[in-house]
Amino acid sequence: MILIGGKPLLEHQIELARSHGFTDIIILACYRADLIKRYIGDGSRFGVSVSTIVEREPLGTAGALLAAMDQLAENFVVLYGDTMVNIDLQRIWERHRQSRADATLLVHPNDHPLDSDLLETSAGGWIEAFHNRPHATDHWFQNLVNAGLYVIRKAALEPWAGGSRAPLDFGKDLFPALLNRGSRLLAYNSPEFIKDIGTPERYDRICAEYQTGVVARSSLRTPQRAVFLDRDGTLISDKDCLRRAEDLELLPGVANAVRQLNHHGWRAVLATNQPVVAKGWCSEAELQRIHNKLETLLGREHAFLDRIYFCPHHPESGFAGERAELKICCQCRKPAPGMLIQAAADLNLDLAQSWLIGDSTSDIQAAVNGGVRSVLVRTGCAGRDGRYPVAPHFVFDTLGQTVDFIIQNAEPSAQHS
Ligand SMILES: [Zn+2]
C-alpha cells in the first residue's frame, strides 16, 4: 500500500495487469490484509476482478501460491507485492506460450552479480543451474539474476497439490526442485524496470525514477536505444584470435564506460564476430567461459551488458580442423547487420537512435548496413584494417571518451529525455 507517485504500489501493479489484458487477479495477503481488502475491494473500480486470500501463517512466497492452487488458471503470472514493475506482460506471456515452458522467469544482469544469486542458461535460454551466494572465486559466472516475476504453467506444480507443510520460497526451493524434476524453466532476459522497495533508500530511488520517467520508458512497449559494442580491440585487448578465457583482459576505463551507459538508460549490447569457433580453435563452451569472465570483470566494477551476440561463422572453408557446418556465408557476421537486427527485435530498439562503437572498418560498415551511427575508437586495430572504404561518424581515442560524447549529445525526446 506504500505510495509511489501518490498511488499505492499495488494499484500500479493492477493497472499494469489490466493494461496488458490480465483482469483476473488473486491477491495473496497476510500482514495488514484488512487494509488491502478495504482499498482494493472486488477490484471493480479498477476494471478488474480481485479475490483476496489471507494466509493465517506465513507460508513463503511459493507456499502461499500453492495453497491457492485450486483457484489458479492453466497459466498465470506471479508478481511480488513489494516490486515496482513496468514490463510488457504480453511479450513475456507470448514467449512463455510459444516455448511451452513449465515456468518462465524474468531475469536480467545486475550491477552487483558477485553478491547475487545467479543462474546459468543454455544458448537457447533454458535454465540449467542455480548458483546461490557465496560464489566460488575461481569460477566465472554468467551475470543473470532472477528478477522476481514469473509465468507458470499450473500443471508443473501438480506434485505440490494440497500445499506444503514447510514454508516454500520460489527462488530457493520451488524452482530448484522443478529443475531437479526435469521441468523446463525458461529465462526471459529483459532490461525492463523491476525493483523491490525493500529499504528506505531503494524506495526513495524508485520514487525518483518514477518521477523522472525512467520507469515509464523502460517497458519494451516503448522503443529503446542501444550502444552496440565490439569486443576485441574495443572492450578487451586485441589478442589476435582470443581462444582461452585466461587470456582475456579488459581495456582500461571500459567498465566505467559501460557503467555510464547502464546509468543513463542506454542498452549496452555486445556484437562480436568469433570466427575462431568455425575455425575449430575455440568451442562454444569455451566462448561461453570467455564471456562469463568478461561479465564477471565488468560486474566487479558494477557494470553489465544487456545482451551478448556473437557470430560463430566464417565464409572461407577448406582448412584443417575447421567445423564445416559453420563455414558459411551468414547474415550475422559483421559487416552484415544480422546481430543488430536481431537485437532490435529482441529489445525493441530504435536503430536510428542507436550507436555502434568499434575499432575496425567492418564494425563501421556494419553500422552503415544496420542504420545506426558509428564511432571508431583508436584502440585495437584503430581502423587500420582498411577492409571497407567507409568513414565513421566520429573518431575518439577511447571507449570512455566515446560514451561521454554519446551521453552528452543524446537528443532529448518524449521517450528518452
Ligand atoms: Zn554468422
Rounded mean pLDDT for each run of 10 residues along the chain, 417 residues in total: 96 98 96 94 97 89 90 96 97 97 97 93 95 88 96 95 81 94 97 95 96 95 97 94 95 98 96 96 96 97 98 92 95 98 98 98 98 98 95 98 95 50
Distance (angstroms) between ligand 1 centre and the Cα of 371 equals 19
138 is catalytic: no
CATH architecture of 3-213: Alpha-Beta Complex (3.90)
Give me the pLDDT at residue 412, please: 63
Q: Can you tell me whether residue 105 is helix, strand or coil? A: strand
Distance (angstroms) between ligand 1 centre and the Cα of 123 equals 15
Distance (angstroms) between ligand 1 centre and the Cα of 339 equals 8
Residue 127 φ/ψ, nearest 5 degrees: -75, 130
Instruction: Kindly provide the residue ranges of all beta strands, DSSP E only, lying in 249-347, ordered along the sequence.
Output: 267-273, 307-311
Q: Can you tell me whether residue 232 is helix, strand or coil? A: strand
Distance (angstroms) between ligand 1 centre and the Cα of 275 equals 8
Distance (angstroms) between ligand 1 centre and the Cα of 279 equals 13
Instruction: State the helix-helix crossing angle for 361-370 and 338-347, rounded to 10 degrees.
Output: 50
Domain ranges of the chain: 3-213, 223-408
Catalytic residue among 88, 102, 232, 306: 232
CATH topology for 223-408? Rossmann fold (3.40.50)
230 is catalytic: yes
Distance (angstroms) between ligand 1 centre and the Cα of 341 equals 13
Burial of 69 (0-12, 13-18, 19+ CB in 10 A): middle
**Which helix (H) or strand (E) element contains residue 276?**
helix 275-278
CA distance to 17, 68, 92, 153, 174, per residue, from 14 (Å): 5, 19, 17, 21, 25
Catalytic residue among 88, 102, 230, 306: 230
Give me the pLDDT at residue 218, please: 94
User: Cell 538508460 appears where?
Assistant: 265
Residue 200, preceding peptide bond in cis (omega within 30° of 0):
no
Q: Can you tell me whether residue 282 is helix, strand or coil? A: coil
State the pairing for strand pair 83-86/103-108.
unpaired
For residue 322, the one-letter residue type is: E
